[in-house]
Amino acid sequence: MNFEKTALFIDGSNFYAATRLLNMDIDYARLHQYFSQDANLIRAYYYTALPEDQEFSPLRPLIDWLDYNGFAVVSKLTREFTDPETGKKRTKGNMDMELALDMLKLAPHIDHAILFSGDGDFCRLLEDVQGIGVRVTVVSTTKTSPPMAADSLRRMADVFIEMDNIREQIARPPRANEAVSA
């Protein structure tokens, strides 16, 4: 069987926000298996920003697990700045550029890119990658208010997968003592 050469690009913060709004706890082993079952998975990237001043980040166990289990984790430290409008201290750690550069570099070597993000800023990236013949699937959700998936990104994608529709394939099953929400 001739499987498509495929790569996963997970925008950690955007994907995490969508999973929280859907009350979904992702099982990354199941996610990896689901998206590689009919594909030749070349690479699975996970992008996240890490706070520099925390000795132990709550993300550390996930990052370590991903790193040891076949995901290429791309991270950088967050920057602290003062919001000019409110005067409050904020942190910023946008990984869009890293994701875009990695997808563009890998595009000549793959048939299918799967982007786990609803960020409309990726529209131009999809256009360029599709321009060299790569099929692009976007995994996000429109079942939140407001929708996590930008309409422009959904329209640009060759395929849009509603996260809630693949919940059983990629999420941890609810524990026996947890109520299942509809």
pLDDT tens digits for 109-151? 999 999 999 999 999 999 999 999 999 999 999 999 999 999 9
pLDDT value, residue 61: 87
- For the purposes of burial, counting CB atoms within 10 Å of the CB of 9, is it exposed (0-12), middle (13-18) or buried (19 or more)? buried
- Strands (DSSP E) contained in the chain are 4-11, 39-50, 72-77, 79-82, 89-92, 112-116, 135-140, 159-162
pLDDT in tens, 159-175: 999 999 999 999 998 77
In-domain check, residue 181: no
| Assessment of whether the complete model's pTM goes beyond 0.85 | yes
Residue 26 DSSP symbol: B
In-domain check, residue 180: no
pLDDT band at 76 (very low <50, low <70, confident <90, very high): confident
Question: How many alpha carbons fall within 13 Å on the CB side of residue 80?
Answer: 7
**Can you give the CATH number for the domain in which 32 is found?**
3.40.50.1010
In-domain check, residue 176: no
Q: Does the pLDDT at position 2 exceed 60?
A: yes
Q: At what angle do helices 28-36 and 60-68 cross, to 10 degrees?
A: 40
Q: Which domain holds residue 133?
A: 4-170
Handedness of CA 112, 50, 79, 141 (dihedral sign): positive
Tell me which amino acid residue 108 is: P
Domain count, the chain: 1
The share of the chain scoring above pLDDT 90, in percent, equals 73
